[in-house]
Chains A and B, each alone.
Chain A
Amino acid sequence: MLTGFFKDSSLPLYLAKEQERIEKVARSLGLDFFPTVFEILSYDRLNEVAAYGGFPTRYPHWRFGMEYERLAKSYEYGLSKIYEMVINTNPAIAYLLEGNSLTDQKLVMCHVYGHVDFFKNNYTFRATDLDSAGKTVPLEPPGSSYNPNRRWIDKMANHGSVVRRLIVKHGLEPVESFIDHCLSLENLIDPSAPFIVRRRPSLEDDEVTYDIDVPKLKAKDYMDEFINPRDHVLAEKKRLLDERELRKQAFPEQPEQDVLQFLIDHAPLEKWERAVLTLIRDEAYYFQPQMQTKIINEGWASYNHSRLMTQHILDFSEIVDYADNNAGVMATNGKQLNPYKLGVELFRNIEERWNRGQFGREWATCDDLDERKHWDMRLGLGQKRIYEVRAHYNDVSFLDEFLTEEFAMEQGLFTFEWSDRRGSYEVMSREFQKVKQKLLSQLTNGGNPVVRVTHGNFENRGELLLEHQHHGIDLRMDYAERVLGSLVRVWKRPVALRTIFSEQPVLLRFDGKEHRRVELSSI
Chain B
Amino acid sequence: MTLKIDRDHARFRDIVRGRIRQGLREYISHGELIGKKGKDLVSIPVPHIDVPRFTFGGKNQGGVGQGQGEPGEAVGDGDEPGSGQRAGEGAGEHILEVDLTLDELADILGSELALPAIEDKGKSRIQSRKDRYTGIRRAGPESLRHFKRTYREALKRSIQAGTYDPGAPLIVPQTEDKRFRSFRSEEERAANAVILYMMDVSGSMGDEQKEIVRIESFWIDTWLRRQYDGIESRYIIHDAVAREVDRDTFFRTRESGGTMISSAYKLAAEILERDYPVADWNIYPFHFSDGDNWSTDDTKLCLQILRDDLLPASNMFAYGQVHSPYGSGQFIKDLRENLASEPRLVLSEIQDRDAIVGSIKEFLGKGH
Contact = CB atoms under 8 A, between A and B. Distances in A.
Interface of A: 5-6, 45, 48-49, 51-52, 56, 60-66, 68-70, 73-74, 76-80, 173, 176-177, 180, 183-188, 316-317, 319-321, 324, 331-338, 341-342, 411-419, 422, 424-430, 435, 438-439, 442, 447-449, 451, 468, 473-480, 482-483, 486
5 contacts: A334-B66, A342-B66, A442-B64, A451-B54, A483-B52
Contact of A448 (B7, B11, B55, B90): B55
Contacts of B75: 334-335, 416, 424-427
A329 to B, nearest CB: 13
Contacts of A48: 3, 5
B114 to A, nearest CB: 20
Given A324-B152, A429-B71, A448-B55, A77 B108 contact: yes
Contact of B78 (A49, A76, A183, A333): A333
B53 to A, nearest CB: 5
- Indicate the member of A177, A180, A486 with the most B CB atoms within 10 Å: A180
A65 B13 contact: yes
Interface stretch (B42-50, B293-301, B351-359): B42-50
Contact of A332 (B20, B60, B66, B156): B66
Interface of B: 1, 3-5, 7-13, 15, 20-21, 23-24, 44, 46-49, 51-78, 83, 85-87, 89-91, 94, 96, 98, 100, 108, 152, 155-156, 159-160
Q: Pick the most buried of B3, B55, B66: most chain A CB atoms within 10 A of its CB.
A: B66
Contacts, number: 234
A109 to B, nearest CB: 22
A413 B44 CA distance: 31
Give the residue among B1, B21, B53, B73 with the most A Cβ atoms within 10 A: B53
B53 A415 contact: no
Contacts of B20: 173
B307 to A, nearest CB: 43
B55 A77 contact: no
A154 to B, nearest CB: 14
A435 B64 contact: yes
Nearest to A188: B54
A188 B73 CA distance: 37
Contact of B48 (A66, A415, A419): A66
7 closest pairs, A vs B, by CB?
Answer: A476-B57, A65-B12, A65-B8, A417-B62, A65-B9, A482-B52, A334-B76
A479 B46 CA distance: 21
Contacts of A336: 65, 89-90
A324 B159 CA distance: 14
Contacts of B94: 70
A270 B152 CA distance: 65
B71 A63 contact: no
Contacts of A70: 46, 48, 94, 96
A422 B60 CA distance: 13
Contacts of A486: 52
Contacts of A426: 72-75
A31 B338 CA distance: 77
Nearest to B42: A77
Contacts of A342: 66
A424 B74 contact: yes
A177 B11 CA distance: 13
A320 B54 CA distance: 46
Contacts of A482: 52
B65 A335 contact: yes
B14 to A, nearest CB: 8
A517 to B, nearest CB: 14
B54 A317 contact: no
A183 B53 CA distance: 8
A504 to B, nearest CB: 15
B55 A449 contact: yes
Contact of B98 (A68, A77, A338, A341): A77
B64 A439 contact: yes
Contacts of B69: 334, 414, 427
Nearest to A328: B84
Contact of B62 (A177, A425, A475): A425
Contacts of A425: 62, 74-75
A65 B5 CA distance: 6
A60 B7 contact: yes
Contact of B54 (A417, A442, A448): A448
B52 A479 contact: yes
Contact of A416 (B13, B51, B62): B62
A367 B272 CA distance: 85
B5 A52 contact: yes
Given A334-B76, A479-B53, A73 B96 contact: yes
Given A185-B53, A476-B58, 16 more contacts: A56-B4, A68-B5, A69-B46, A77-B98, A78-B85, A173-B21, A184-B53, A331-B83, A336-B89, A413-B64, A419-B74, A427-B70, A447-B91, A474-B57, A475-B56, A479-B57
